[in-house]
Structure 1
């Protein structure tokens, strides 16, 4: 905290339930003046942002997530004309409104921005930089949930036929059968694969480990691919040419886009395999809690958002149970 007096801190702590950030600032200035207490220097907004990013790094957030937080919160801080401890709900709403009115972001993206700002202020509250997050009273931003397409059985065969090498076919079959994230895929080592049990351990978000399972096609293509490897790199997937460096996320994304274009102009990206696997699993009757475990989601609501049940099956079920 920024205050030297325990009495001032206690008064402000009790009043924080009734006042917003700007009102708390005025209360603090009044108490400090009346009681003759000198303020300690307030931390710089950018310094607090860096502290937050450092904390998230220690918690195990990926470099991509840290970069997204940095860009999003850096833009927010640049919009402010006040130190963070003096920011109220109105200032946050004004910022979100300006982003929405700009027409450059969707409501889904805008709500992601809201969640990141909320996470930042919650951390400031936990660190006792502020007494109360100004984002508490800002509700979730609603958006229309569009049914995102999944990969059909026919498209999957075309995609496999478009693969020019065993590595790409193994990558596709592993993504399709496990539903793992692309970041988890590129971190896999040869030793992580258990061919006998057709399973592997992946390292998910927050360095959480979970077990995923692959089908017979993925097993055969993986084994054939590894037999052709002449390098000694422990990574499961590497570049096709020397010096055989481990694949990275952008490399996988780029290659899938190329395969998609060759496969009758499909828009293909790693996440589409994940969504397809989740949809198929739920559609065939797998309990949602088990799908949640396979995907590594901490909240079941996230799993429901990923998996959209096939509408034709809903129609058939309606005829069976109701019609």
Structure 2
């Protein structure tokens, strides 16, 4: 049996996880991706608990939970993964107790393993300019696809939105006169994000000249389309970013999230305050945004070491 996913859940586990899935979808209104992540974590817990003879979630104890996390650690799971699994377990056991499916909250005393947060990699302004210039220069050869790719890159960098937010954009989400895009983020929270003139020009060019070439009945109101005319999917956007960055000599191989990191870093380096960057990125916690101050400090330190004669 795989250590991560049980071959066969007991009836008790199946029933409870089914009810929990409904709770996550209907009451917490989580995205399909978030629901899937929670259930994957809990299936791993169910598998480990079953090996310890805990065939019903009501029988979970703090000892079982700690044993599960220790087992994952011996398998070489990263600290970030362990922290996420711990959070999943605590939210689940709290729900069990709150809904009367367990006598007590087994995870109340569970402490998240401290995770080591690596600083995100960001492009330099020179690399961003080279990326966008190379994509623009290739428009003659790339045609419709080039117009779309340029609009995608410009908008990702201008706004710092997530790839899932980008692919979910409809034409009406763009306030083209005010250069503001309305985004539906995590937890279905809506926010408005401004974008600049270069992104506006690229988007207008795509909407007026590129999109009509690909649009079909399946396109609906989607802003960005795949080669077959349907709404573009995140994998295609990731492929666009990787391929276009490959043309920039010396640039790191980043995906759409790398452009999000880059946008945040450049905003802070340009003098934007942390709260404003938090609003633009759609972070629920200011602590999540603060990591970009460390990125900026690291870049300044590197520049100092390279440039100062007594560094």
Would you call these one fold, judging by a TM-score over 0.5?
Answer: yes
On the 8 A contact 1:283/1:310 being kept in 2, the answer is no
Q: What CA distance in whole angstroms lies between the structure 1 residues aligned with 2:155 and 2:68?
A: 42
Q: What does residue 297 of structure 2 align with?
A: 310
Matches within 5 A, 1:93-172: 93-103=66-76, 105-163=77-135, 164=142, 165-172=146-153
Counterpart Cα distance in 2 of 1:289 and 1:132: 39
Question: In structure 2, what is the Cα distance between the partners aligned to 1:67 and 1:144?
Answer: 24
C-alpha distance in 1 between matches for 2:153 and 2:103: 49
Contact 1:89-1:137 within 8 A present in 2 as well: yes
In structure 2, do the counterparts of structure 1 residues 306 and 133 end up closer, same or farther at CA, with 3 Å as the change threshold? Answer: farther
**Aligned CA-pair RMSD:** 2.2
| Matched residue SS, 2:254 | coil
Partner in structure 1 of residue 252 of structure 2: 266
The answer as to whether partners of 1:60 and 1:205 remain within 8 angstroms in 2 is no
Paired with 2:278 and 2:203, the residues of 1 have a C-alpha distance of 25
Structure 1, gaps ≥5 residues long: 1-41, 318-323
CA apart distance, 1:43: 7.3
Partners in 2 of 1:285 and 1:215 — Cα distance? Answer: 16
Counterparts of 1:198-237 in structure 2, within 5 Å, are 198-228=179-209, 229-230=211-212, 231=215, 233=219, 234-237=221-224
Match of 2:20 in 1: 52
Tell me the CA shift for residue 271 of structure 1.
1.0
For 2:237, the equivalent position in structure 1 comes to: 252
- 2:162 matched residue in structure 1: 181
Instruction: Give, in angstroms, the shift of residue 314 of structure 1.
Output: 6.3
Q: 1:145 to 1:207 in 2, by over 3 A?
A: closer
In structure 2, stretches of 5+ residues that fail to align are 1-9, 136-141, 305-311
Q: Deviations over 1:45-96 (max 9, x none)?
A: 1211121122111222111212222222111111112111111111100100
Return the index of the structure with the highest Cα Rg: 1
Inter-partner Cα distance in structure 1 for 2:43 and 2:256:
28
* 1:66 correspondence with 2:35: yes
SS in 2 for 1:44: helix
> Does the 8 Å contact 1:182/1:270 carry over to 2?
yes
Q: Secondary structure at the match of 2:30?
A: coil
The 1:85–1:43 alpha-carbon spacing in structure 2 relative to 1, beyond 3 Å, is farther
Aligned CA distance change for structure 1 residues 306 and 96 (closer, same or farther; 3 Å): farther
Partners of 1:312 and 1:200 lie apart in 2 by 30
Provide the aligned length of Structure 1 versus Structure 2.
273
CA contact 1:283–1:313 (8 Å) conserved in 2: no
Deviates more, 1:135-144 or 1:168-177: 135-144
Question: In the TM superposition, what is the alpha-carbon distance from 1:266 to its structure 2 partner?
Answer: 3.2
SS for the counterpart of 2:296 is: coil
Q: Residues 171 and 47 from structure 1, CA distance in 2 versus in 1: closer, same or farther, beyond 3 angstroms?
A: same
In structure 2, the CA distance between the partners of 1:123 and 1:100, relative to structure 1 (3 Å rule), is same
Residues 167, 225 of structure 1: 8 Å contact kept? yes
CA contact (8 A) 1:203 1:209 kept: yes
1:279 touches 1:310 (CA, 8 Å); kept in 2? no
When residues 290 and 146 of structure 1 are mapped into structure 2, their CA distance, relative to the original with a 3 A threshold, is: same
In 1, distance between residues paired with 2:118 and 2:201?
36
One of 275, 290, 293 as aligned partner of 2:279: 293
- Secondary structure in 2 matching 1:201: strand
Contact 2:123 2:252 in 1 (8 A): no
